[in-house]
Amino acid sequence: MTASSSTNPYAPPESPVVAQPVQIDFRVAAVEESLRILEANPGRDPDELGVSLVLPADVKGPRRLKHIARMTLLRLVLGIAGLAAGGLFAAATEKPMVAGIPKAVTGTAAVVCGGGGILLLLANAMLIRWSVIRALGPRYDEAARHSTLRRPLVTGVEDARTFSSMKLAPEDFACVAFDAANRRLILEGLLFRYVIHAGDVLNVGQESGTATTGVQVVYRVGAVAVGITLQFDSVLGELRKQTIGWGRDPLLKPILTTLGGTESGANLKAG
């Protein structure tokens, strides 16, 4: 192999830049297959085809996803800063007076900063859900109409292959509708719309990430297989894990019930 074969073929001549692997969105093949299926069935409503699909959802989706990621980071930084400031003020209360500031004032500042930081961190998941629902608009109402098992849930949608990697934000946020009557999941995402029919599902199971759990769903879109991992964050769920050792992901049961599977995820009968 010559030296030129290891350089970026799109770089200017004599460029010393080393080639980097091209990052292809893990949904590309499934989207192409979905569009092929729609082209083969002109004029038909995609929901009437009875097949799993991954379709582009909203041209404003990437901008909205970036905005939610930035606001999430900001809340995390402010929350941690509040906790740190609260700790410093709490340490200062051990002295009668610091820099002329009475002990009562530093004690109040410790409570306000520390408490505010905790509340901001705890509210982060709720604020993300609110932002996603607001961004989806009428699409959320449509998902709620299809969700016959329970109310829709807002989750992160990640590439199943990289779920264990640390990320600021998932590849997509989606509202999950549990359409048990038709044995399908409908994910109205900021970037894509995912329709998952039980008959196309290859595997469902719980997966562990860097600091949390998720539910991996591998399914067919025509001749293409795609794997996604859904992550649902909630304060109650984390409290259960930290206090009583609740190990089951809260999404696993409603997903398996909707698709007609068992707790092991292995009994998904073709529709």
Closest CA to 140 of 164, 92, 176: 176
Longest dimension (CA), the chain: 79
Each residue's pLDDT tens digit, 202-246: 999 998 877 788 999 999 999 999 999 999 975 555 555 555 455
Each residue's pLDDT tens digit, 61-96: 999 999 999 999 999 999 999 999 988 888 877 766
Provide the CATH number for the domain formed by 25-56+137-259 in this structure: 2.30.29
**Given pLDDT bands bounded at 50, 70 and 90, which one contains residue 1?**
very low
CA dist 166 and 178 (Å) reads 28
Domain boundaries, the chain: 25-56+137-259, 68-128
Q: What is the DSSP string of 164-205?
A: TS--SS-SEEEEEEEEGGGTEEEEEESSEEEEEEGGGEEEEE
pLDDT of amino acid 262? 59
pLDDT of amino acid 213? 87
CA atoms in the 13 A half-sphere facing the CB of 228? 30
